[in-house]
Amino acid sequence: MASKKNTIKLQFNSSRNLAPAPESKSVAKIADKYDLFINGKFEKPSSKKYFNTINPANEEKLSSIAEGNGADVNKAVVAARNAYEKIWKKTSAKERSKYIYRIARMIQERARELAVIETLDGGKSIRESRDFDVPTAANHFFYYAGWADKLEYAFPNRKPQSLGVAGQIIPWNFPLLMAAWKIAPALATGNTVVLKPAETTPLTALKLAEIIQEADLPPGVVNIITGAGATGAALVNHPDINKIAFTGSTDVGKIIQKAIAGTNKKATLELGGKAANIIFDDAPLDQAVEGVINGIFFNQGHVCCAGSRLFVQESVYKIVLQKLKDRMESLIVGDPLDKNTDIGAINSKQQLDVIQKYLKIGQQEGADMFQSSCNIPKKGFYCRPTIFTNVAQSNRIAQEEIFGPVLAIQTFRTEDEAIEKANNTPFGLSAGVWTDKGSKIFNMTSKLRAGVIWANTYNKFDPTSPFGGYKESGFGREGGLHGLEGYLKV
């Protein structure tokens, strides 16, 4: 047994000494300055103000980005309204779908460039942006292109109609993919769009604006305005918006819900999470540990559905903990552009501060902290993969969303105890169950209060399946046939 463990350790250690394998930056064409994309053209902001977007891996400036104010938001909404009334509403569904297919294919053609820019701007590993973000973004456009002329089949006998202008606000964890999640179904259902990317990751949305321009989408059908919270608030409060689609923090989600209360604006809110991964003693343990690692550490834990709480059945707790620690030691934290990197940079200094605050809180609350011993670069924003054991249900690290590579581990004895503990959270976005028994999976999935539950896998996404939460994780579903409904009167 001991010698087996040593062999595994040895393999892991050697994998950390791999020669650097950086992806070339040469494909990434980033302009010095980006304006607002309104009515099919790039326009200077009325504020005349620009802010910097930086590479969180080395803190170097990548570009200056226009800061849209209320006047710019209004211009974009007017452009979207005109495009809706005069063009898009009258465009046949078949024609709409051709434009969406064209955008999908152009994303595929520029996949390498988009992946490198996503990694430079957001800090996520190139493996993640290349193998997940960009192909999944293209797949969303392909998938919804297919629905555009089949809406009557999606909602039989219900005459689905578009809403009008959709205001869409997205976060920094999956910048291009979130834009695709929001734009593709809106266009397929005949709506026009004003989209605001997050202030720390605007570049791939602006590249998407270039693609949309090249695809000859009629001017004003998609408008992309950059800026921070005030720009987003101006969009939410604009009287001529018919729908708000928001993905981001629960705090901002609550502000948005208050702002649109009493208006006719339809809304979908995809907010925070504190997902439970539950490992039973009959689970394939290596597979489960790999799923837990994938669920919380890859993408730096910057995932609303990150499995940030782990519940392990007491009888296998020790072995699971050891396997987790061994696997954590093998993870490579560092240059996101390096193809060997597992955990890239934290998206911003502000987010790193939040994570570090929670590391202190966890220790002050009496939990035991373990971090992998890897080196991290001196410049840039990085966090070692971290686990807390000896965690109580009431601890803030077990209740609040940290949005970083930090896992709170607890134990349980029975199925009922696991369900009770897992459901003891204000959130309800996702969960994971690891067991060999189908009956246990059915029991757990029917009792866990979460919008998405994975069994013996984690963080699997597909354009055909709906995604969304319960409780403070928001409402409405994105993806799949359900994702169409949020953009239609049915």
Bridge partners of residue 36, in order along the sequence: 43
Burial of residue 210 (number of CB atoms within 10 Å: 0-12, 13-18, 19+): middle
Residue 246 C-beta: closest distance to ligand ADP, Å: 7
Burial of residue 98 (number of CB atoms within 10 Å: 0-12, 13-18, 19+): middle
Q: How many residues bind to ligand ADP according to rule CB under 6 A?
A: 17
Task: For residue 246, give the amino acid letter.
Answer: F
Exposure b/e, 465-479, CB count within 10 A at least 16 = b: eebbbebbbbbbbbb
Catalytic residue at 305? no
202 binds ligand ADP (CB under 6 A): no
27 binds ligand ADP (CB under 6 A): no
Say how many C-beta atoms besides its own lie within 10 A of residue 218's C-beta: 16
352 binds ligand ADP (CB under 6 A): no
- The DSSP symbol for 478 reads B
CA-nearest of 328, 403, 334 to 371 is 328
Say how many C-beta atoms besides its own lie within 10 A of residue 286's C-beta: 11
Q: Which two tokens stand for residue 190?
A: 């005949």
Residue 101 C-beta: closest distance to ligand ADP, Å: 28
Q: Which is nearer to ligand ADP, 272 or 428 (CB)?
A: 272
Q: How far is CA 162 from the centre of its chain?
A: 26
Q: Which is nearer to ligand ADP, 27 or 255 (CB)?
A: 255
Pick the piece of the chain touching ligand ADP (CB under 6 A) from 90-98, 165-173, 275-283, 337-345.
165-173
Q: Which is nearer to ligand ADP, 198 or 418 (CB)?
A: 198
Query: Which pairing describes strands 368-371 and 386-389: parallel, antiparallel, or unpaired?
Result: antiparallel
Residue 68 C-beta: closest distance to ligand ADP, Å: 11
Task: For residue 345, give the amino acid letter.
Answer: A
255 binds ligand ADP (CB under 6 A): yes
Residue whose CB is nearest to ligand ADP in the complex, by number: 232
CB contact at 8 A, 468 and 259? no
Q: Which is nearer to ligand ADP, 233 or 305 (CB)?
A: 233
Catalytic residue at 290? no
362 binds ligand ADP (CB under 6 A): no
232 binds ligand ADP (CB under 6 A): yes
Q: Could you give the C-alpha distances from 66 to 203, 231, 338, in angstroms and in order?
A: 11, 11, 30
249 binds ligand ADP (CB under 6 A): yes
For the window 170-189, what string marks contact with ligand ADP as x by the rule CB under 6 A? xxx-----------------
Catalytic residue, from 23, 270, 401, 478: name it: 270
Q: Which is nearer to ligand ADP, 221 or 303 (CB)?
A: 303
Q: Which is nearer to ligand ADP, 196 or 440 (CB)?
A: 196
Burial of residue 160 (number of CB atoms within 10 Å: 0-12, 13-18, 19+): middle
d(C-alpha 38, C-alpha 323), whole Å: 52
Q: Which two tokens stand for residue 75?
A: 């211009």
Residue 352 C-beta: closest distance to ligand ADP, Å: 13
Pick the piece of the chain touching ligand ADP (CB under 6 A) from 89-97, 193-201, 205-213, 312-320.
193-201
Catalytic residue, from 67, 118, 304, 401: name it: 304
Query: Which pairing describes strands 41-43 and 36-38: parallel, antiparallel, or unpaired?
Result: antiparallel
Residue 122 C-beta: closest distance to ligand ADP, Å: 12
Residue 173 C-beta: closest distance to ligand ADP, Å: 7
Question: Which residue is it, tokens 């920094």?
Answer: 172
Q: Which is nearer to ligand ADP, 57 or 256 (CB)?
A: 256
Q: Which two tokens stand for residue 373?
A: 């011993």
The residues that are catalytic are 270, 304
Instruction: Return residues touching ligand ADP (CB under 6 A).
Output: 169-172, 196, 198-199, 228-229, 232-233, 236, 248-249, 252, 255-256
